[in-house]
Amino acid sequence: MGDYSKALEFYEKAHQIYEKALPPNHPSLATSYNNIGGVYHDMGDYSKALEFYEKAHKTYEKALPPNHPSLATSYNNIGLVYNNMGDYSKALEFYEKAYKIKEKSLPPNHPELATSYNNIGLVYNNMGDYSKALEFYEKAHKIKEKALPPNHPELATSYGNIGEVYNNIGDYSKALEFYQKDLEITKKALPPNHPSLATSYNNIGLVYYNMSDYPKALEFYEKANRIYEKVLPPNHPSLAKAYGNIGQVYNNMGDYSKTLEFYEKAHKIYEKALPPNHPDLGFSYNNVGSVYGDMNDYSKALKFYEKGLEIYEKALPPNHPDLGFSYNNIGQVYNNIGDYSKALVFYDKALKIREKALLPNHPTLATSYNNIGQVYNKMGDYSKALEYYEKALKISKKALPPNHPDLATSYNNIGLVYNNMGDYPKALEFHDKAHKIYEKALSPNHPDLAISYSDIGLVYNNMGDYSKALELYDKAHKIYETALPANHSHLATSYNNIGTMYKNMCDYAKALECYEKALKIREKAAFPNHVDLAICYGTIGQVYNDIGNYSKAFDFHNQAHKIFEKALPPNHPHLATCYNNIGQVYYSMGDYSKALDFYERAYKIREQALPPDHPDLAICYVLFYISSIKIILPMSVFLVQPASGTNVKVGVDDFNITYATIETDSVSNCHFILIDGEYEERQFA
């Protein structure tokens, strides 16, 4: 039931008796040390656990022959602690020592040998070496098939382990196949409310979650939860994990109030059941932080992420991968609030830990490179962005099968950079590579396929081929309508993208209709000061400006501005965009000095937030120039003399930085963010 202090009290009393009654190297003393070490392990106090496991091991070494099974058990215990501490090379070293003893002392098909293969497979799985993990899990499975009856629970566990590897490499049909085998045996071998049955349901739910089949994921997670609620005490950590899984599904469905409800249920259990510095409590703080991040409440998100980090720093060794996740999440907040230098600091901390703790081709390293690449992309340093995205791509190519969705993510990210650089053929080439993978790897109504259509649509939009862009945005929209609940934020984004196409095609009535549909979804789904709501107000304001309804335009831009001021730091790029748009209204009204005032505000923000070579700064300079010229020589259009000698008309509309671009960027990055926010993605089961 998780009463660790009581368990320690009784084990220590027993130990005191053993110390008085037995000689110092008696095996029962070693067993006693192991028991105490086991409690510290469950408490998440790995250094203490290691201390007692090593005491047990020294006793066994003195008291027992070198190939005694208890020595193998002792090596396993020490290996388990190193595995949980993220020191995988040490874990392997001890698991292999255990295996060598078992190999000498046991017959070749003994189930204990299978246990050793499983342990070694687990470490390779954690290291991201999935082919090795599969090799050892399959060795374990062959032994179990020979040694055990066909419906033995250990066989079910074996199927589950193999299923997990297929899930990790993105082969979801294979993962489901093995998890279903696990479930079939578990149903036959165990009573209907056994916790192992709940684990089986959780595993299947996880695959459906990864496939974005959220109703199915919810169905299986709730089956697991019902079992836990019947058989476990109300403060059991497994119940907290079940609540966490359900919360994650609601999070991806965009129902943040439901997500918070389940994450907070989980957190309350952890607070009661675990010691204050247990890593699972740190994990729980990260989950709650992730929801506030999705809600754009970045100060709250940061508060919870920092609480999680504080626990990890106390409980884990300095190079533990979970510390990397924690730094990553904090970096994501700074990235979202436009503090790119801070984001880079935390992303770099995460990367350094991962470089030390993980194999050079671990997929999580690719995630780190993607995150850093994303920041450089936002900063307009496209060569740096490409450098990091290409590093991520190299790892993904080596670590993952050729049709894994994460490989498509890498291609998409590179495509986005080429799009921002104006190299549209290259952008299309990479987006097309991504799209082909998605078509092979995902179901036809998977949201990531919709994101892929949107990314390609964005390129055609930038090329001025609005009918093609509209066609692709419509394809994306149809998928969202089929796959997502009616108030999901992706649907609002989709309406926004379609609206932007109509705006670019000067069909303002259609544009307004789409933007208002987006706004209705945002108003139902978002909180009053949510940034996405402000973006909606801004896009509608732009249409009213274009049709000459300046009072309406001001009204919507001011609503956007109020939200941005409350929700974002004063130097966030969205505020600069807002000032530009207000400046554009004044410009359209012929009030050029007012326009210049707002363009200057936008420039000051961008000057602080962006590197000196960022393209948005160039746009600011042009807007200054146009407005200044208008003040000196008022006229609706002025002439720029190019080298060719022909007159080219230049108007302020050519340089407007729109919310549509920001909005589409968000869509493009949704897939990317899903792999970024590791704590949002990491499952409890």
pLDDT (0 to 100) of residue 630: 63
What contacts 679, CB < 8 A, 6 or more positions away? 283, 286, 287, 289, 290, 308, 325, 326, 329
* Averaged pLDDT, 608-620: 74
pLDDT beyond 60 at 88: yes
pLDDT band at 563 (very low <50, low <70, confident <90, very high): very high
pLDDT (0 to 100) of residue 524: 85
Distance in angstroms (rounded) separating the CA atoms of residues 291 and 257: 9
Distance in angstroms (rounded) separating the CA atoms of residues 356 and 88: 11
pLDDT tens figures, 662-678 = 233 322 222 222 222 22
In a domain, 536, yes or no: yes
Distance in angstroms (rounded) separating the CA atoms of residues 397 and 658: 35
Beta bridge partners of 648: 640
Location of structure tokens 């050079």? 360
Look at residues 274, 298, 317 and tell me which one is the last residue of a structural domain. Answer: 274
Looking at per-residue pLDDT, the higher value among 660 and 19 belongs to 19
pLDDT band at 635 (very low <50, low <70, confident <90, very high): very low
What contacts 429, CB < 8 A, 6 or more positions away? 415, 418
In a domain, 300, yes or no: no
pLDDT beyond 90 at 658: no
In a domain, 2, yes or no: no
What contacts 273, CB < 8 A, 6 or more positions away? 2, 235, 236, 237, 240
pLDDT beyond 60 at 405: yes
Any idea which of 251-260, 419-428, 660-669 has the lowest mean pLDDT? Answer: 660-669
Average pLDDT, rounded, for the chain: 88
pLDDT beyond 60 at 652: no
In a domain, 544, yes or no: yes
Q: Which residues span the domain enclosing 229?
A: 151-156+172-274
In a domain, 18, yes or no: no
pLDDT (0 to 100) of residue 204: 98
Contact 669, 361 (CB under 8 A): no
Look at residues 274, 293, 315 and tell me which one is the last residue of a structural domain. Answer: 274
pLDDT tens figures, 110-151 = 999 999 999 999 999 998 899 999 999 999 999 999 999 999
Look at residues 274, 308, 335 and tell me which one is the last residue of a structural domain. Answer: 274
pLDDT (0 to 100) of residue 681: 23
Looking at per-residue pLDDT, the higher value among 109 and 4 belongs to 109
pLDDT tens figures, 450-461 = 999 999 999 999
pLDDT (0 to 100) of residue 24: 86
Any idea which of 77-86, 518-527, 587-596 has the lowest mean pLDDT? Answer: 518-527
pLDDT (0 to 100) of residue 682: 23
pLDDT beyond 60 at 684: no
pLDDT (0 to 100) of residue 82: 93
130-147 vs 111-127: helix crossing angle, rounded to 10: 160
pLDDT (0 to 100) of residue 2: 53
Tell me which range, 12-16, 207-211, 466-470, 637-641, is most confidently predicted by mean pLDDT: 466-470
pLDDT tens figures, 288-302 = 999 999 888 899 999
pLDDT band at 51 (very low <50, low <70, confident <90, very high): very high
pLDDT tens figures, 370-381 = 999 999 999 889
Residue 617 structure tokens:
């700064």
pLDDT (0 to 100) of residue 589: 93
* Averaged pLDDT, 633-643: 40
pLDDT tens figures, 152-210 = 999 999 999 999 999 998 899 999 999 999 999 999 999 999 999 999 999 999 999 98
pLDDT tens figures, 476-485 = 999 999 988 8
Number of H helices, E strands in the chain: 32, 2
pLDDT beyond 80 at 474: yes
In a domain, 473, yes or no: no
Looking at per-residue pLDDT, the higher value among 233 and 613 belongs to 233
How many residues comprise the chain?
Answer: 685
* Averaged pLDDT, 546-555: 96
Residues 71, 74, 80: CA angle, nearest 5 degrees? 145
In a domain, 28, yes or no: no
CATH number at residue 248: 1.25.40.10
pLDDT beyond 70 at 631: no
In a domain, 257, yes or no: yes
pLDDT (0 to 100) of residue 662: 29
* Averaged pLDDT, 494-503: 97
Distance in angstroms (rounded) separating the CA atoms of residues 609 and 335: 11
Overall domain count for the chain: 2
pLDDT (0 to 100) of residue 521: 93
